[in-house]
Amino acid sequence: MTPKLSTTEIATLIILALASVAILAVPKFAGLSLQLDLSIIFVYAILALSMGFMWGQVGMLSFGQTVFFGIGGYSYAIFALNTGDTTTAMLLAILLPMLVAALLGYFIIYGGINDIYFAVITMVATIALEKAVRATSDPRIKIGDVRLQGQNGIAALPDLKVPWNPSETLFVTEVYYLIFIAMLLVTAAYALLLRARVGRVLVGIRENEQRIALLGYDPRRYKLLIFVISGGVAGLAGGLYAVWGNFVAPEMMNLNASASVVINVLVGGKASLLGPLVGTGIVQSLTSWLGSAGVGQVNVVLGLILIAAVQVFPQGVVPMVSAICRWGLGHLVRLAQPSRRASATGGKQ
């Protein structure tokens, strides 16, 4: 937690930079379908990050992060279809979920709800909203001119328009860049937040909420703040999802969707910001690859992988890989400079 960058942070930055170069180069040599596959992974990565940050850094397990994802997606869909203005629609996709997060967050955080109860109440929120949206199949139920269509969801959403030139819309490759850059910006914003004073208070809350309170900070204010921010980020992911596939549907908010956010974070590891991103990449690409690989029941394979993951890398993939790297690096350094052992292994936080 020093203002100087730690080795882990430097490593993260290097990995991110290398990955970014590779990812930005993808459209040069790969087809549209790969770009689409990667775009949706980035969308889920943003969602996973919004959940993983709260969980890993602050200790708040939001099992229903998809409630904001869904509200974001529907905000974009309804506003864009009604007005044709996709820029404002995207802003609403961030702001409305923040508003809902503020209300819900005030209700539960100031109510002193913690731990597993926090998880369950957020889960209940997402399921309740999903059920409510699914109950809007009656063709007479409309917001503006847009029929909500319940279970069926809303399809044929307008493509995102260039804000300063609304006659031009973004095609697959531009959407790919947009989503990727959004993911980078969100990651960077969370990293900066973590390094700011607020971030240190948040981590302090995770470590010992009572002590933070005794130091004169009101933990509830900080928790509400991060809940609202993460709600906005999840909403952004929802808006981008709507742009990606030109559809939204209640299944964005169901139990499966909310559980898979948690799974993505757990597989990657919640301790770092890289974890949710990597975890999402692994789980999502496995799911879509298995579906066309002819393995029969995809669930069997996915289930076995999850079970194995818990036993083999309980902290997630990222911490394990970085531990291996550090171990390897330590050996290399030791071979080169046998006398300076102690400092070479000192990279641990």
Partner 1 sequence: MKFSRRNFMKAASGALAYASAPSILATAGIAQEKPIVIGNILDQTGGLNIYSLQQIKTTAMAVDEINAAGGVVGRPLELVFYDSQSNNQLNAQYMTEALVRDEAVVVHGGVTSSAREVMRPIVSKFGGLYFYNSMYEGGVCDPRHVCPAMVPSQQLKPLVPHVVQNMGKRAYVLGADYLYPHTMGEWIKRYTEEAGGEVIQTEFFPLDVSNFASAITRIQAEKPDVVWSVLVGNAHNAFYRQYEATVGKDTIPLASCMFGIGREQTYLSADESAGIVNATSFHDGLETEAARVFLKNFRAYTGDESYVGDYGELGYRGVKLWALAAEKAGDPSADAVIEALPGTSFDAPGGKVTIDGQTNHAVMDIHLIRANREQGWDHLGTTEQLEPVDTQAVCSLGS
Partner 2 sequence: MYDAIIFLYQILFSISLFILISTGLAVIFGMMKVINLAQGEFIMLGAYFALLGEVIGLPFILSVVLAMVGVGLFGVLVERLLIRFLYGRLTDTLLATWGLSLLMIGAVTTFLGPQVAGVSVETGRIAVGEVYSISVYNLYIILVAFAALASCWALWRYTTFGMIARAVMANPGMTSALGVDCHRYYMLTFGIGSAISGLAGAMLAPIVGTQPTMGGLYVAQAFVSVITGGELPFLGTLLAGGLFGTTNGVLSYAYSQVIGEIGVFLIAIVLLRFLPHGMTSQKGRS
Sites of contact with partner 1 (CB under 8 A): 31-34, 36-37, 40, 131, 134-135, 137-139, 149-153, 155-156, 245-247, 249, 251, 287-288, 290-299
**Contact partner, 333, from partner 1, partner 2, none, Cβ < 5-8 Å per class:** none
Joined together, the tokens standing for residue 327 give: 């171990």
Cβ closest to partner 2, residue 128 vs residue 215: 128
DSSP letter at 158 equals: P
DSSP symbol at 168? E
d(CA 237, CA 61): 19
With CB under 5 to 8 Å by kind, the binding choice for 198 among partner 2, partner 1, none is none
Cβ proximity to partner 2, 161 vs 270, nearer residue: 270
Q: How far is the CB of 244 from partner 2 (least distance, A)?
A: 25
- Quickly list DSSP for 189-204: HHHHHHHSHHHHHHHH
Rounded distance between C-alpha atoms, residue 152 and residue 106, angstroms: 32
Q: How far is the CB of 160 from partner 1 (least distance, A)?
A: 14
Sequence-distant (6+) residues with CB within 8 A of 81 are 144, 145, 146, 154, 157, 158
Judge contact between 26 and 197, C-beta under 8 A.
Answer: no
Nearer of residues 157 and 271 to partner 2, judged by Cβ: 271
Q: Which is nearer to partner 1, 55 or 244 (CB)?
A: 244
Residues lying near partner 2 in the complex (CB under 8 A) are found at: 61, 107-108, 111-114, 116-117, 120-121, 123-125, 127-128, 131-132, 134-135, 255-256, 259, 262-263, 266-267, 296-307, 309-311, 314
Residue placing its CB nearer to partner 1 in the complex, 32 or 307: 32
Measure the CA–CA gap between 308 and 314, rounded to whole angstroms.
Answer: 9
- Residue 292 interacts with which of partner 1, partner 2, none, CB < 5 to 8 Å by class: partner 1
Of the two residues 132 and 155, which places its CB atom closer to partner 2 in the complex? Answer: 132
- Judge whether 74 and 267 are in contact, CB under 8 Å: no
**Shortest Å, Cβ 122 to partner 2:** 10
Strands, E assignment, 48-162? 142-143, 146-147, 161-162
User: CA-CA distance, 144 to 81, in Å (whole number)?
Assistant: 9
163 binds, among partner 1, partner 2, none (CB under 5 to 8 A by kind): none
